[in-house]
Structure 1
Amino acid sequence: MNEQGRKEQYSDEIDLYELLLVLKKRFKIIVAISFIGFLIGGLVAFLSPNIYQARAVLWVDSLIDPSLIERFKTIDNRTSFIIPLGQTKSPEVNNLSLSILNSLAFKKKVLDRLIKQYGEKEDILNLTKSINKGKGDVVFKAEIDKKTGSINLISEQRDKKFAENILSYAIDEFEKEIDNTSQIYSKAISPKKENIKNSKNFVLSVIEQPTSLESPVKPKRKLIITVAGISALFLAIFLAFVAEWWINVRARRKN
């Protein structure tokens, strides 16, 4: 048993040595393929356009007494409502705000505003195609800040000003949606029609106006080059062993 174990160990050592010999024999090919991988990664990284991120922060306050809200919910569960996070712990509040901001119909309204200002330029046509495919996040996305409960709007575009304008129009349209919701509440709560027209049950506060970061957020050039180089290195090593195996197979066949 001990002798057999030594033979197996010796065999393993020889196999490892042979692997190192293969790497040494194919060293130039491995280096060449790895270099090509780095080169391709560099070309992709530096030829990709810069993408800038614009951000805005919103907050919605409710001027309606919570008891009236609960009563209204029992009257008509089909009606949409927006309640700020600070006045309730119910997740449906923020979910509804996000459903409005992230809906395709809402983003189409924002695009209509953009078309009026910029015309049918390439960037807008690309955004329209994305929305038609159900990819609304390419226009902008809304998410809730878990720490503060505020609504963060984020848009990533090739042009800083274009990204900021997208968020500005989104805020304008969102304020209109809030006003419409106020009208719906007033009709259900107020018995006097004259109080409905100018009612303001919800208030939108823009905590941070749309601003863009100075540096692009994409592409991550260092990461792209590193991943491309490492992937090419592993591919080169794999191909080196495959080539060596194929040469050995052909040699055996000739013999």
Structure 2
Amino acid sequence: MEEKKPVKKEQEIIYYQEDEIDLYELWLTLRKRWKVIAFTTILFFFTAVVYIFIAKPVYTSSFFVKIPGRYIKTGNSISRINLISAEETSRIISDLSANIQDKNYKKQEIPLKLPEDKIKNIKSITPSKIRGNKRLIEVKIESYKPSIIPDISKSLVSYLNSNRYVKRKIETEKEKLLMFIKESKNKLQEMEKTKKLIYKELREGNIKTLGFNPLDLDTKILNIKKEIAELEIRLENLKGFEISVEPTISEKPSKPKKKLILAISTASGLFLGVFLAFFLEWIENAGRRHKNNQTQ
């Protein structure tokens, strides 16, 4: 019987040697083209340094705005419903931010109640909904001057309250509450007149029997007074947009992120340098093979 040759082991050795040769060739290519890699990496690094020095520092701050709402009494419980939804509020703020970014300063100068030089220092105004909280909305402000952030937040709230849609919603709710208060007061007056009349007739003996307990009138009058008090409180609390949490101003700018920019630019320069090194080596080898084919 013939002995079987260890073909598998020989193939593994050949493959292993080929891998070693390929890695060694790659290393030789990198060592040969190290200047290209170093130049590309340094170029990217210094470009990032120049950008960091040229770029304007941006200061970021957030504050929370309370959305106006109305209260509804269902049984013994009172629930709150927003007059303007968080989505509608975000849309109004986003439209304003888009106009600012498009440099429509003149158009927004009066509504924002800010001079043009301050509006020019606003980089962006970004609204975002808070998960699990429909009463508040978070507004992030990016500005080139941190000192104007409080003015921006106050002016933004005034801008929201001056919106026609918002004003109409609040005025409509106020009219409803005033109408309910008026109706309840008229009802209270009628009940008090009825009470006085009944007690007068009872004292004079004109009425001997009643189909109800006179004390029930007192209970109904107290309930109406309580209802009027609740309506007046709801009317008093019915306001427009308000700042719930004031913006905090950081002394350090949030952008540009120097360390991150330097790290990304250095890594990008290194990868591009390696790619250029292999690309140049491939071009050189391709040219050499082309010349050999022509001479043969």
Query: Structure 1 length normalisation: TM-score?
Result: 0.71
Sequence identity percentage: 24
Check the 8 A contact 1:168/1:210 in 2, yes or no. no
| Residues 1-255 of structure 1: pairs in structure 2 closer than 5 A | 1-2=7-8, 3-60=10-67, 62-65=69-72, 87=80, 93-104=85-96, 111-113=108-110, 117-119=114-116, 121=117, 124=119, 138-146=123-131, 149=134, 150-177=136-163, 178-187=166-175, 191=179, 202-203=238-239, 204-255=241-292
For residues 15 and 62 of structure 1, the distance between their equivalents in structure 2, rounded to whole angstroms, comes to 71
Deviations 1:41-94 (A, max 9, x none): 111122111001233222235343256xxxxxxxxxxxxxxxxxx836x9x832
Aligned residues: 222
For residues 117 and 9 of structure 1, the distance between their equivalents in structure 2, rounded to whole angstroms, comes to 72
Do the aligned partners of residues 30 and 139 (structure 1) sit closer, same or farther apart at CA in structure 2, a change above 3 Å counting?
Answer: closer
Output the amino acid matched with 2:160. F
Query: Which protein is bigger by CA-based radius of gyration?
Result: 2
Do the aligned partners of residues 110 and 213 (structure 1) sit closer, same or farther apart at CA in structure 2, a change above 3 Å counting?
Answer: farther
Check the 8 A contact 2:36/2:276 in 1, yes or no. no
Unaligned runs of 5+ in 2: 1-6, 101-105, 184-234
Check the 8 A contact 2:150/2:247 in 1, yes or no. yes
For residues 236 and 105 of structure 1, the distance between their equivalents in structure 2, rounded to whole angstroms, comes to 40
**Helix, strand or coil for the counterpart of 2:85?**
helix
For residues 188 and 61 of structure 1, the distance between their equivalents in structure 2, rounded to whole angstroms, comes to 15
Output the amino acid matched with 1:170. L
RMSD: 3.6
For residues 262 and 170 of structure 2, the distance between their equivalents in structure 1, rounded to whole angstroms, comes to 52
1:14 shift after superposition: 0.8
Do the aligned partners of residues 12 and 49 (structure 1) sit closer, same or farther apart at CA in structure 2, a change above 3 Å counting?
Answer: same
1:17 shift after superposition: 0.9
Do the aligned partners of residues 112 and 62 (structure 1) sit closer, same or farther apart at CA in structure 2, a change above 3 Å counting?
Answer: same
For residues 95 and 161 of structure 2, the distance between their equivalents in structure 1, rounded to whole angstroms, comes to 15
1:125 shift after superposition: 6.0
For residues 188 and 211 of structure 1, the distance between their equivalents in structure 2, rounded to whole angstroms, comes to 38
Check the 8 A contact 1:101/1:107 in 2, yes or no. no
Check the 8 A contact 1:182/1:200 in 2, yes or no. no
For residues 165 and 35 of structure 1, the distance between their equivalents in structure 2, rounded to whole angstroms, comes to 43
Do the aligned partners of residues 183 and 53 (structure 1) sit closer, same or farther apart at CA in structure 2, a change above 3 Å counting?
Answer: same
